[in-house]
Chains A and B, each alone.
Chain A
Amino acid sequence: MTSKLKTIIAASAVTLTGAIGAYAQDEGVLGAIKERDSLLCTGHNGSYLGFAEVDAQGAWQGFDIEMCKALATAITGSPDKLQIIPVSWAQRFPSLQSGDIDVIIKVTGWTMTRDTELGLSYSRPYFVGPFYTMTRKDLGATSIEDLAGGVFCAQAGTTVERILVDYMDTRGLEYEILAFEKPEELRGAIYNERCDAVPGFGPFLSATRVEAPDPDAFVILEDVMALEPEGIVVREGEDALLDVINWMVTVLLLAEQEGITMANVDEMKANPPSATVERMLGATPGVGARLGLSDDWAYNVIKTVGNYGELYDRTIGKDSRYQLPRGLNNLWSNGGVMYPLVLD
């Protein structure tokens, strides 16, 4: 009798924990996305050109938007199962907390305050935001050292000014700062050739260059003065979703490292050159189940948005009008800081 009772208790405990396990797996935002069959991602408006912008048909384009598409494809299997919710900078964290959006992919720097006090969790950086220097092409400078002694324009009292001072002083370079109160004044000074160089956040500089009367008169140098890593943000405690995001970023980078592109992914899946590629593209099962996704999720992602390099070049890099140097966002094997995790 007692043994029977024990069995029943044990069995129900197993059922219960099993049920809880199954429940926990579909709990949270990842479960909600699957149930809704659509991802709620951030759009932004006219902030950093090339990261999110609206075309003539009212469709969203850009680096952050492609990341949203990649994530939607990974989870739902289709880039169309994606709703871009436009949110302002001030609104993004409250919107995430209130559940208006599932993730923030909006050039959001990984800072300690946000990570700890705001109750957010960051993915590994999907973009390393560099502070570059833009200069006039006719000066012929190829590095910041060549610009020593020149006039550097910056907005007064901003981080950029501090970064410039740090960078130049530690290297003992001569420089003259021309500080402006307003961004419009700064712009005017740049376009009227009052500045030899303009330090600034990479996406800002590429936008400033594109909007110049003659964009080709300016060039962005690859010297990095400082950097801000940008992560994909979810609510704290969304481990399942965070796993999917981190492995999605890895798949994009691994695809580039292994030479898998949007064009050759079918061929690669049919004749995988290595066991890792075989596993990643789902030719041998396993890559999906561990994340609660289908086994061809990585294949779908690459088929839809391409590898990291393709995505970058198309939206903000050399194939786009913004011409932002790849720089730190190159793979480690090409002198950058981006690397895939180990897919075993």
Chain B
Amino acid sequence: MAIAALPPPATQTGVGAWLRKHFFSTWYDAILSLIFLALIFWVVSGIWTWGLRDAIWTVENRDACGHGVGACWAVIQDRHRLILFGLYPYEEHWRSTLACLAVIATMILSCVPLFWTVWRLPILWIVGFGTFVLLMRGGFAGLPLVTTEQWGGLSLTIFIFSAVFVLGMPLAVILAFARRSSLPVIARVTGIFIDVFRSLPLLTILFAAAVVVPLVLPDWLQGDKLGRVIIGFSLFFAAYQAEIIRAGLQSIPDGQVEAAVSLNMPFWSQVVDIQLPQAFRNTLPSTINQAVITFKETSIVTIIGFFEVMASGNAVVGTGEWGQQYVEVYLFLAFIYFIFVFGLSRYGAWLETRMRLGHG
């Protein structure tokens, strides 16, 4: 006779049991749980009272700011356009908005697998970047010309990041393959190039691109300061990323390439169909890492006078009018960085699951 399965005793089920099991199973567990509960409550209530309940939201009430009450978000209301657009001419901010959206759309679209072909991706990027540069720069169809010195804020940060990524990534692939080349000259020269760029601080490279290069090159070769800086930044990025990709290439068993050769697969097909997909899949975590680091490092361009989002934030604080509200401004900046970096991380996680599906 089968014995009917009894439900577990009441002390083993329900919220009470779960809490008891995970948080209060021993006396020291209980103490730790209580301490952390108090800590969490203290932090959350602090954020709530300072950041929301007692906060001052509008410029009309700004007189109340700085008297030990809550956060003064009025500074964001008053100066958010400076943070988002930097020194871009005030009347033309709509152009900066559209351009920024174009690049963000390009970034999002190129994350969609539908666009991952040899032709679609470059075309997408050319269209996206072309739209950005044309809109930002203007100088046609009645749009006033805005030189790159005046570009700024979040738009500039996003532009620099995506341009560095888009220029640096193909270069990194080329460098990675060149370093593994069987021709010693190419392998050595690439090795030296990578080591030199990795041994120089990013700041030095950007400073040289902005200030030293114009002293050396003739006028017609100099190009725009922003362009030079992006190229310098891309070389730096490529040097690091190339080593990441090389690690990915080395993790592929030799047998695969040998099999491809024995099947008489063309070199191009070996690279695109066998080596690169596996190399990228194996190094995805470090690639996302590198992308996140690069995004945050864009703030270094401040030092050569570009008004990216961090510098714009400093400009907001750099007036007597809002000098006291630096905490609010920096929190807002942190929030902006968080959105982008968190988005990148989540995208990386999604890619990992997706790639694992195809490979069991």
List the interface of chain A (C-beta within 8 A of B).
Answer: 45-47, 49-50, 53-60, 83-88, 90-91, 94-95, 97-100, 207, 210-211, 213, 320-322
> Which of B82, B86, B215, B305 is A91 in contact with, Cβ under 8 Å?
B305
A-B contact pairs, 25 of them (CB 8 A): A45-B307, A45-B311, A46-B315, A49-B318, A50-B320, A54-B87, A54-B316, A56-B81, A56-B82, A58-B82, A58-B87, A58-B89, A59-B90, A60-B87, A83-B147, A86-B87, A86-B305, A91-B211, A94-B207, A95-B305, A98-B214, A98-B215, A100-B211, A213-B324, A320-B320
Distance in Å from the Cβ of B42 to the closest Cβ of chain A?
Answer: 23
Please name all residues of chain B whose beta carbon is closer than 8 Å to the beta carbon of A322 when the two chains form the complex: 320
Tell me whether A47 and B87 are in contact (CB under 8 A): no
Known contacts: A47-B318, A98-B215. The answer to whether A56 contacts B305 by CB under 8 A is no
Distance in Å from the Cβ of B26 to the closest Cβ of chain A?
Answer: 43
**Count of residues in B whose CB is under 8 Å from the partner chain:** 40
Tell me whether B78 and A46 are in contact (CB under 8 A): no
> Which of A85, A97, A211, A213 is B320 in contact with, Cβ under 8 Å?
A211
CA distance A91 to B214 in the complex (A): 14
Please name all residues of chain B whose beta carbon is closer than 8 Å to the beta carbon of A86 when the two chains form the complex: 87, 149, 305-307, 311
List the interface of chain B (C-beta within 8 A of A).
Answer: 66-68, 78-79, 81-82, 85-90, 147, 149, 152, 207, 210-212, 214-215, 225, 302-307, 311, 314-321, 323-324
CA distance A152 to B179 in the complex (A): 62
Known contacts: A46-B315, A58-B89, A99-B214. The answer to whether A210 contacts B303 by CB under 8 A is no
Distance in Å from the Cβ of B325 to the closest Cβ of chain A?
Answer: 10
CA distance A56 to B82 in the complex (A): 6
**CB nearest to B306 among chain A residues:** A86
Tell me whether A88 and B305 are in contact (CB under 8 A): yes
Tell me whether A85 and B79 are in contact (CB under 8 A): no
> Which of B207, B225, B303, B318 is A54 in contact with, Cβ under 8 Å?
B318
**CB nearest to B316 among chain A residues:** A54
> Which of A49, A94, A95, A97 is B319 in contact with, Cβ under 8 Å?
A49
**CB nearest to A48 among chain B residues:** B318
Distance in Å from the Cβ of B208 to the closest Cβ of chain A?
Answer: 10
Please name all residues of chain A whose beta carbon is closer than 8 Å to the beta carbon of B215 when the two chains form the complex: 97-98
Tell me whether B311 and A53 are in contact (CB under 8 A): no
Tell me whether B317 and A54 are in contact (CB under 8 A): no
Distance in Å from the Cβ of B319 to the closest Cβ of chain A?
Answer: 4
Distance in Å from the Cβ of B335 to the closest Cβ of chain A?
Answer: 20
Known contacts: A54-B318, A321-B321. The answer to whether A213 contacts B303 by CB under 8 A is no
